[in-house]
Amino acid sequence: MTSPKGLQADGLKYAKTIFETVRRMSADTLGVTRQGYSALESDVLDYLQGLGRDLELEISADRAGNVWMTLPGRDRSLPAFVAGSHVDSVPQGGNYDGLAGVTAALTVAWWMRRQNFQPLRDYTVLMMRCEESSFFGKAYVGSLGMMGLLKPSDMMLSHRTQNLTLGQAISSCGLDPNDLTTGKPVVDLSRIAAFVELHIEQGPTLTSNEDIRVGVVTGIRGNVRHKKVICRGQTAHSGAVNKEFRHDAVMAAAALLNTMENRWQEWLDKGEDLVFTVGVIKTGETAAISVIPGEVSFTVDMRSLSADTCERFHTLLLEEAAKLEAERGVRFEFDKPLYTAPGHVDPALSDRLSDAADANGIPCMRLPSGAGHDAAVIGGCGIPVAMIFIANQNGSHNPYEEMQMKDFMIGTDLLWHTVKAYD
Ligand SMILES: [Zn+2]
């Protein structure tokens, strides 16, 4: 078998052409825009299917519109090793979020053909639709649809700017939305042995590390969120009311957030996995420079690999808020918390990735995924899943998202070695 250098050198051109072609197809005034269940997303899938035909892969689409391209294995009775990701993007996003995983999976198939390598079991490239929530407010539509886990109410969700529902968008691609809400998968899950999703990290951990450019994901963080927490105090004249008479909503909220930031650090020091974010904060209607604020509202987003950590930190938030209510004569009103369970990766499959990295001299670390991914949906349905992260620059979900092809090829190489060593 050719050395890893072989795939890295030869595959580079193949992968580059895919990235450049799809970028051209989906270029926006800034970055790229590939809306889920749009004509453009279908065109991109058509282009990628053409590449699959060149490799003589068996191609089919499921009833959620996801495309499966299979390189037949020597034993067709075995369930397949599946690799892939999503083809859509956020509006004016980067080209690599999602597409990197599809391109890596396809490059591995191309490499197998070039090497005349036939795996024991089928190797399947899975290209999913509509992972991003930015157009219809619903994430993982393609993978949830594939599992039959969309709700009829999801189909009524409307597009952020157009007069179009999610159901209409799905129908416009020649699909029946009713097929995707039955609670039953539209694919035969027993035919999938494993799913590996390669994805850009979208965070700074790998790219700030000079030596280790790829990682194996330890889990996908779940979250507890409040869309709106209101702190109510008392509006008053900023000059006329001394400190002891004030019920300043902003100062109370600031005290709460300061406390939570300190506690967060304590929890990190204890070894817990946790991130805590207040992304939106607003004073009330009557806010003005000379008015003691009587109202401030904010969002809360806390995430962890452990649902228990999230829940306990959430309880702590409520306790600290109650203390401040007593101390400062304010009131905190929390809306209904929204829960997303952490996504579990398969430890054995993840170990196979780490083993393949070790065996081939690929420096690799373990790290959590802060963002959600289709792999979590697929793993949630009982299929062993694992993820490879690749270093990328400038974050993600923005037009400046970057990824070095050198790093991409290291990750692709790791995927190849994992597939090759699977049986
Ligand atoms: Zn993604």
Average pLDDT over residues 284-293: 95
Q: How remote is the CA of residue 213 from the centroid of ligand 1, in Å?
A: 18
In the chain, the percentage of residues whose pLDDT exceeds 70 is 99
Q: How remote is the CA of residue 259 from the centroid of ligand 1, in Å?
A: 33
Are the CB atoms for 161 and 187 separated by under 8 Å?
no
The pLDDT of residue 43 is 98
The pLDDT of residue 380 is 93
- Please give the DSSP secondary-structure letter assigned to residue 341: P
Q: How remote is the CA of residue 284 from the centroid of ligand 1, in Å?
A: 35
Question: Which residue type occupies 359?
Answer: A
Q: How remote is the CA of residue 387 from the centroid of ligand 1, in Å?
A: 12
How far is it, in rounded angstroms, from Cα 362 to Cα 111? Answer: 18
Residue 185 has pLDDT above 90, yes or no: yes
Q: How remote is the CA of residue 194 from the centroid of ligand 1, in Å?
A: 19
Q: How remote is the CA of residue 232 from the centroid of ligand 1, in Å?
A: 38
Give the pTM: 0.87
Residue 366 has pLDDT above 90, yes or no: yes
Q: How confident is the model at residue 281 (pLDDT cuts 50, 70, 90)?
A: very high
Q: How remote is the CA of residue 84 from the centroid of ligand 1, in Å?
A: 11
Are the CB atoms for 70 and 113 separated by under 8 Å?
no
DSSP states along 224-288: EEEEEEEEE---EETTTS-GGG---HHHHHHHHHHHHHHHHHHHHHTT---EEE---EEE-TT--
Average pLDDT over residues 107-134: 96
Average pLDDT over residues 46-64: 98
Q: What is the pLDDT of residues 123-134, one digit of tens each?
A: 999 999 999 998
- Please give the DSSP secondary-structure letter assigned to residue 99: H
Q: What is the pLDDT of residues 132-180, one digit of tens each?
A: 998 998 999 999 999 999 999 999 999 989 999 999 999 999 999 999 9
Q: What is the pLDDT of residues 205-245, one digit of tens each?
A: 999 999 999 999 999 999 999 989 999 999 999 999 999 99
The pLDDT of residue 3 is 46
Average pLDDT over residues 49-66: 98
Q: How remote is the CA of residue 57 from the centroid of ligand 1, in Å?
A: 24
The pLDDT of residue 311 is 96
Average pLDDT over residues 409-422: 97
Q: CA distances (Å), 96 to each of 125, 200, 232, in order?
A: 17, 7, 43
Average pLDDT over residues 393-403: 95
List the structure tokens of 183.
């609670």
Helix, strand counts (H, E) of the chain: 10, 16
The pLDDT of residue 5 is 62
DSSP states along 177-223: GGGGSSSS-SS-GGGEEEEEEEEE--SSTTTT-SS--EEEEEEE-EE
Q: CA distances (Å), 7 to each of 10, 11, 36, 110, 390, in order?
A: 5, 5, 31, 10, 17
Q: What is the pLDDT of residues 69-89, one digit of tens each?
A: 999 999 999 999 999 999 999
Q: How remote is the CA of residue 151 from the centroid of ligand 1, in Å?
A: 22
Torsion from C-alpha of 199, 202, 208, 211, nearest 10 degrees: 0
Q: CA distances (Å), 64 to each of 37, 45, 145, 365, in order?
A: 10, 13, 6, 34
Average pLDDT over residues 250-266: 98
Between CA 268 and CA 278, with CA 274 as vertex, the angle to 5 degrees is 115
Q: How remote is the CA of residue 348 from the centroid of ligand 1, in Å?
A: 23
Could you give the domains of the chain? 4-221+343-420 (3.40.630.10), 222-339 (3.30.70.360)
Q: CA distances (Å), 140 to each of 34, 134, 167, in order?
A: 15, 11, 14
- Please give the DSSP secondary-structure letter assigned to residue 105: H
Residue 1 has pLDDT above 50, yes or no: no
